Structure 1
Amino acid sequence: MKSNSQNRKALSVFFFLAGFSFSTWASRIPSIKTTYEMNEAELGSFLFILPICSLIGLPISGWLVSKYDSRYLLTYGFLLYIISLCGIGLAPNLEILTLVVCFFAFGLRAINISMNTQAVQLQKRYHKTINGSFHGIWSLGGLIGILVATLMIYLEISMKTHLISVSLFALFTGVSAASFLLKNDRETGGNKFRFGKPDRFILYTGIVVFCAAVCEGGIYDWSSVYFKEVVQAELFTLSYLVFMVSMTLSRFYTDRLVDYFGMKKMFIISALVVIFGVSILILFPTFYPALIGFFITGLGVAAIFPMSFLLASKSKKYAAGMAISIVGTYATIGVLLAPPFVGYIAHLFNLNLAFLIFVVAAMVLIFFSRKAYLAL
């Protein structure tokens, strides 16, 4: 039987690789836009693929994580995720690229549910809060991924070579860590979804996750485009890099802040910081103020997802894996709506004005985080 320390290290490897691979994909969105000559609205429509396919795969992932140990879904979902990332680089045309991104989305959904299920189950074996550290490691992976991407773009290395190299590294590392994942974590009760009137706690927590997904997912997809087309910076990945540095630093302190302030207050603090950071981006769309805005926004966004999934695991009606799967639906819808809406508003008006979506989402988050605690 593997120790808690070994389980934690193995799960950390998967969080790292998931973030590393996702930031690799996100950093190449402007390259895809240029290669296929898309305008903002067309890119927004293309970005619909990821959340729609993720939403389709969610019931399957939820059923699998409730029926089997989460390590099985994590291992096989990770293989699909990484092979698809490689396929994005190899796609010869837009039709094949669209198909590959669908599989990429299925894999992403599977590993998100299974990783967070492993994290909350492992959390139960510790007396201190550790859930935020996993998301910190995800952000660290994303940060290193964007550093690598920035170097690749600077050296004018093709997207194909870039994605294949990252895929091979992730595949080898993930397979090596898989045998050390937490075993026998399936809960015997609360594994069936119940139709009828929605559970208020899950509903309100789901809306909180939705708002977090709108802010985090939208900025992931549009930060590089914003910096390239609004700020008109040549090294357009720099905004994403600053955002990831901020989130990484903040997430390694999230557990301490949650223990100090409590999750209820931390939701409010985080949302207010997001509003402040995005306001800077809207009002001062120039090089240095924009970098400061992305940094502050990253500080605010960082704690919301770890807290949301930890809050969902406290459900009295559902097992942790099923609760995470259900609220994950709201996250997927948030990711589904935010990036395309940003694209459409940017096409009609401008990208600055489109970022108001994130301000509204942060305000809604404050309201429903309070209601979730009242319903607990």
Structure 2
Amino acid sequence: MSATAIVAPALLSPQRLAVSLMFLANGFVVGSWAPKIPEFAARLSLDESDLGLMIMCFGIGSLCAMPAVGVLISGRGSHAVTRILAALTVPCLLFVTIAPSIWTAALALFLIGALVGGMDVAMNANAVEVEKRQGRAIMSSCHGCWSLGGVAGAALGGVLIAHHGVLAHAITASLVTLVMVLIAWPRVLVDPPHVEPDTTGQAGAASRRPSLIGAGAVVWLTGIICLIMMTPEGAILDWSALYLRQELGANAALSGLAFGAFSAAMALMRFLGDVVRDRFGAVRTFRVSCMLAMAGLGTAGLATSPQLAIAGFAIAGLGFANTVPIAFSAAGNLPGLPQGLAISVVTFMGYSGILFAPSVIGFIAEHTGFAAVYMALPVFVTLPLFFSGLMRHADRQPG
């Protein structure tokens, strides 16, 4: 018998640090874009409709890149794809800042959306691999790092733009992103391609086809779950402040706290989520999270005061915090399907919800009011709750 002791991997291994930094950098770039929007619109003389179309270029770029990156990961692994996309993302804010015309700015936004969205798929795939190697959950804290990066990027951007201008801000943000990528670069987990070679011939391929079809159905259902769970996030981001002002009589300062409370609660719970998931399991954590989300949305929709609505949005943030990270982990561990393709599907569908559903919600709210919308959203969350057993794949350990 070998006398060598089995040592559990360190809580913060170099590979976990690297993928966490990638999430931080990605969120930082997205957060840094937000305070640039007013100057961007003024410089190119864009009205609200024009600006909406320009921002849509960002979303379209992301959705176009995600499936392609999934195919790349399946053939090459997430290591190289994550590093290359991170390196290409570093200067992208500069492209948007110096774009001289509407067409070049639209192209720059499409490019930054493609890079950020593609990197999102790659780093989630790498995080799944780190989870497998370490035998513990890390996905929620990685998404917490993304939220932290978004807050830091927005806060730093506002200060730099106000005091030094947009070009200085773009250069500084690019340098900060570069430092994070350089620290992470040599530590990113090296993983093999996720497509296993076929060594069994046609008979083996035929025997695996039902499993592949079944896995495909599961991954699409997981994607629908992500779509449903990310749609309320977009609804709160885009419409919560207007809801508080128009229907609950809040002032501008108080109405701005709605999404702030939601985001702060979500970020806090994401950093606690891995411990909770390891302690209680992915399925139970997902179910409790769904119920918290439903309770929070219902409270916000039934609120008779802005303060009660803000509390409801905070509860919803606690609930939604860990649902998508758990679903991403589950997709990455589905047997019988290439990991990169699975994660690209759920990412594509999830971000479709946060990008495009708010416009539909706005149209509906014109006829029903936002209170009815926030009371209706928990009804859709019952579907993820019903299929929460699929989240058992997130608990899969290396074997």
Counterpart Cα distance in 1 of 2:105 and 2:172: 18
Q: Does 1:181 align with 2:188?
A: yes
Q: Is the 8 A contact 1:121 1:185 kept in 2?
A: no
1:292 to 303, 311, 327: 311
**Structure 2 vs 1, CA of residues 350 and 360 (structure 1 numbering), >3 Å: closer, same or farther?**
same
Q: Is the 8 A contact 2:261 2:314 kept in 1?
A: yes
Partner of 1:214: 231
Counterpart Cα distance in 1 of 2:362 and 2:166: 23
Q: Is the 8 A contact 2:330 2:390 kept in 1?
A: no
Counterpart Cα distance in 2 of 1:163 and 1:292: 35
Counterpart Cα distance in 2 of 1:335 and 1:56: 15
In the TM superposition, what whole-angstrom CA distance separates every residue of 1:28-79 from its partner, at most 9, and x where no partner exists?
A: 567767873316xx76655543333222222321121112231222222223
Q: Is the 8 A contact 1:135 1:251 kept in 2?
A: yes
Partner of 1:139: 147
Counterpart Cα distance in 2 of 1:232 and 1:102: 35
Q: How does 1:126-275 map to 2 (within 5 A)?
A: 126-149=134-157, 151=159, 161-189=168-196, 199-222=216-239, 231-234=250-253, 238-275=257-294
Partner of 1:76: 84
Q: Does 1:37 align with 2:44?
A: no
TM-aligned CA deviation for residue 196 of structure 1: 6.8
Counterpart Cα distance in 2 of 1:280 and 1:158: 41
**Structure 2 vs 1, CA of residues 198 and 130 (structure 1 numbering), >3 Å: closer, same or farther?**
closer
Counterpart of 2:78, as a letter, is S
Counterpart Cα distance in 2 of 1:344 and 1:133: 35
Counterpart Cα distance in 2 of 1:7 and 1:13: 10
TM-aligned CA deviation for residue 14 of structure 1: 0.9
Partner of 2:385: 366
Counterpart Cα distance in 1 of 2:73 and 2:124: 11
Structure with bigger gyration radius: 2
Counterpart Cα distance in 2 of 1:132 and 1:226: 29
Counterpart of 2:225, as a letter, is V
In the TM superposition, what whole-angstrom CA distance separates every residue of 1:230-281 from its partner, at most 9, and x where no partner exists?
A: 7442587654443332122101111222233322222222122222223343
TM-aligned CA deviation for residue 302 of structure 1: 0.7
Match of 1:124, SS state, is helix
TM-aligned CA deviation for residue 218 of structure 1: 4.3
Match of 1:60, SS state, is helix
Instruction: Report % sequence identity.
Output: 28
Q: Is the 8 A contact 1:47 1:339 kept in 2?
A: no
Partner of 2:6: none
In the TM superposition, what whole-angstrom CA distance separates every residue of 1:176-234 from its partner, at most 9, and x where no partner exists?
A: 42122112432342899x89787332122121122222233444455566678774425
Counterpart of 1:115, as a letter, is M
Match of 2:134, SS state, is coil
**Structure 2 vs 1, CA of residues 56 and 287 (structure 1 numbering), >3 Å: closer, same or farther?**
same
Counterpart of 2:143, as a letter, is H
Match of 1:318, SS state, is coil
Partner of 1:9: 17
Q: Give the unaligned 5+ runs of structure 1.
A: none
Match of 2:48, SS state, is coil
Counterpart Cα distance in 1 of 2:362 and 2:174: 29
Q: Give the unaligned 5+ runs of structure 2.
A: 1-9, 199-204
Partner of 2:353: 334
Q: Is the 8 A contact 2:215 2:336 kept in 1?
A: no
Q: Is the 8 A contact 1:208 1:365 kept in 2?
A: yes
Using the size of structure 2 for normalisation, the TM-score is 0.77
Counterpart Cα distance in 2 of 1:265 and 1:322: 26
Partner of 1:311: 330
Partner of 2:3: none
Deviates more, 1:307-316 or 1:208-217: 208-217
Counterpart Cα distance in 1 of 2:177 and 2:240: 24
Q: Does 1:117 align with 2:136?
A: no
Counterpart Cα distance in 2 of 1:30 and 1:218: 21
